Structure 1
Amino acid sequence: MNNPVLAFDETVRSRSSVRAFLPTPLSDEQIRAVLQDAQYSPSNCNTQPWHVHVVSGETKARLAKMMTVNDLEGRQTPDFTFSYEDFHGDYIERAYEQARLYYEAIGIDRDDKVRRKEAYLRNYQFFNAPHAAFLFMPSFGDNIRVASDIGMYAQSFLLSLTARGFAGIPQTMLGFHADMIRNELGVSDEYRLLFGISFGYADTSAAAANTRMPRVPVENSVVMHG
């Protein structure tokens, strides 16, 4: 099935991180079209350092179970650090606001630790998405340049999904169990796992698929010179 492709301005402004998907899978042709779009992403010196593993079906279900068990048992092996404690100032305030808006949208009170934990673990269920892409990268120097290339690839991937009528969400948490993911997917230790993207058709009946996060004015982020 061919999907209409949106104009760029509509695509980039309508993209959002969807946290509720229909189980309906995309066809191999549809997935390949998105991957082909992402392949045209820019990279430092045209190194094209992205190594992407797309999982569906039984493989995805197996990984979901293993990541959940690993997390509950406190066994995380991320290749790159992540902590809210590293944020400060406006950045941590935006993170808090994102969490507040999301939990309010799905009807979970701030003090409801049980339901918040359940919502947290839904990350490992890929929010019911039928597919997920794990983004691996080689390690060069301090990895900053390579990670920026992976970020540009991911944005191309996400915008292609949106333009074609699909949805996705980049998930840092899908990189928290790098050793296990590498082992299960047969990925060499020379590649580091940055994060993953769950994708498919948005479940538009769910608040988690319709919640949009605010953006600060351009003037808060950009200084014009000359």
Structure 2
Amino acid sequence: MPEMLDATVLAPDDAATDALERMLRSRWSCRAFTPEPVPRSEITRILDLARRSPSWCNTQPWHVHVTEGAGTERLREALRSAVAAGPDAAPDIAFPESYEGVYRERRRISGWQLYASLGIDKSDRVASGEQTLRNFDLFDAPHVAIVTTERALGAYGAVDSGIFVSNFVLAAHSRGIATIPQAALATQAPLIRRHFDLPPERQVLLGISFGYADSGHPANGYRTERQGLGELVTFVGN
């Protein structure tokens, strides 16, 4: 039977708004983790919150494979080996064709912030390339959540799964657990499909590496900016 709740009238809740604002303003993408594992009880609590995410017609197209301990190390080693062999990127969902205009500029600024935090010169292609490969080390995280969606649901299944990802990272942050959603892992979709024995109807969307942040690591010492409301919204009235 579906869960039944009493209908209630929504009212402003300043405490809830303030708590949400703190989560949104303080969350960041972690690029250096300690080896300390997250207790299973904390992981299941995060998942239990994220599963409440809305989706079109309540289809809930997301599924998550969460690694722990030796499971994380097996996947990390498989990714390292695959990338060392130099396979072409093969994401299930096509990556952007290009970044132009303001999107290119935001992407560049984000990359420069990361390189500056690590003392990497903008022109140092070797060092920046090595940092990119850290994606496939999962930034030393003790866990990764591989998020898949249903192929037949197309773009909207991916959109719904993106809502789940957002709620996962916010729920984790509320528990003091750092995360980084990684589209880079989707470049190795064929490997991930074999590794987890995924059926062909499941598409690899991304991975979320998570654990406890290495607070002293310079890669965790900067924050990206967000566009202002003037860029974000167009109000249409009378």
| TM-score bracket relative to the smaller structure | over 0.9
Counterparts in 2 of 1:189-204, with a 5 A limit? 189-204=200-215
Q: Which residue of 2 aligns with 1:32?
A: 44
Asked if structure 2 preserves the Cα contact closer than 8 Å seen for 1:7 and 1:163, the reply is: no
Residues of 1 paired with 2:172 and 2:58: CA distance? 23
Work out the number of aligned pairs and report it: 220
Q: Which residue of 2 aligns with 1:135?
A: 147
Asked if structure 2 preserves the Cα contact closer than 8 Å seen for 1:77 and 1:179, the reply is: yes
Deviation at 1:59, TM superposition (A): 2.0
Give ranges in structure 1 of 5+ residues lacking alignment. Answer: none
Greater relative CO, 1 or 2 (CA 8 Å, sep 6+): 1
Residues of 1 paired with 2:175 and 2:187: CA distance? 29
Residues of 2 paired with 1:49 and 1:66: CA distance? 26
Structure 1 residue 182 corresponds to structure 2 residue 231: no
Residues of 2 paired with 1:161 and 1:41: CA distance? 14
Deviation at 1:136, TM superposition (A): 0.5
Structure 1 residue 78 corresponds to structure 2 residue 91: yes
**Which of 117, 122, 134 is residue 134 of structure 2 equivalent to?**
122
Q: Which residue of 1 aligns with 2:232?
A: 221
Structure with max Cα Rg = 2
Asked if structure 2 preserves the Cα contact closer than 8 Å seen for 1:20 and 1:127, the reply is: yes
SS at match of 2:115: helix
SS at match of 2:130: helix
Give ranges in structure 2 of 5+ residues lacking alignment. Answer: 1-15
Residues of 2 paired with 1:62 and 1:120: CA distance? 20
Deviation at 1:184, TM superposition (A): 1.1
Asked if structure 1 preserves the Cα contact closer than 8 Å seen for 2:67 and 2:145, the reply is: yes
Structure 1 residue 149 corresponds to structure 2 residue 160: yes
Q: Which residue of 2 aligns with 1:159?
A: 170
Residues of 2 paired with 1:111 and 1:68: CA distance? 25
Deviation at 1:69, TM superposition (A): 2.4
Q: Sequence identity, in percent?
A: 38
Residues of 1 paired with 2:221 and 2:64: CA distance? 27
Asked if structure 2 preserves the Cα contact closer than 8 Å seen for 1:138 and 1:191, the reply is: yes
Counterparts in 2 of 1:37-76, with a 5 A limit? 37-75=49-87, 76=89
TM-score by length of 1: 0.93
TM-score by length of 2: 0.88
Letter in 2 for 1:164: R
SS at match of 1:96: helix
Deviation at 1:222, TM superposition (A): 0.7
Residues of 2 paired with 1:22 and 1:71: CA distance? 23
